[in-house]
Amino acid sequence: MSLEHHQIKAAFSKAAQQYEQHAVLQKEALERLLERVDFDAFESEQPFSPQTILDLGCGTGWAVEPLLKRFPDSHIIAADFSAQMLNQIKPHEQVECRQTDAHAIDVHAGSIDLLFSNLMLQWCDEQTVFQEIKRAIKPGGLMHLTTMGEHTLHELHHAWSQIDDKPHVNHFVPANELADLALRLGFEDVIADSELITMTYKSVVDVMRDLKNIGAHNTDDKRSRGLTSPRVLKDLTKHYEQFRTEEGLIPATFELVYLRAKKSSQDHGLSLRIKD
The pLDDT tens digits for 17-54 are 454 455 788 899 999 999 999 999 999 888 899 999 99
Among residues of the chain, what percentage have pLDDT more than 90?
A: 71
Among residues of the chain, what percentage have pLDDT more than 70?
A: 83
Q: Average model confidence (pLDDT) for the chain?
A: 87
pLDDT-derived band at 168 (thresholds 50, 70, 90) equals confident
**Closest among 180, 143, 182, 173 to 271, alpha carbons compared:** 182
The residue with greater pLDDT, 138 or 222, is: 138
The whole-number pLDDT of residue 60 equals: 92
Average pLDDT (139-156) is 95
pLDDT-derived band at 225 (thresholds 50, 70, 90) equals very low
SS3 (DSSP) at 204: helix
Residues near 70 by beta carbon (within 8 Å), at least 6 away in sequence: 34, 37, 38, 41
Average pLDDT (62-69) is 97
Q: What is d(CA 166, CA 175) in angstroms, rounded to the nearest whole number?
A: 24
The pLDDT tens digits for 196-219 are 999 999 999 999 888 877 555 445
CA dihedral (198, 203, 207, 210) in degrees, to 10, reads: -110
Average pLDDT (90-108) is 97
Average pLDDT (219-237) is 69
The whole-number pLDDT of residue 226 equals: 46
Task: For 138, list phi and psi in degrees, rounded to 5.
Answer: -70, 155
Please report the domains of the chain, with CATH numbers, ordered by start residue: 5-150+171-196+255-263 (3.40.50.150)
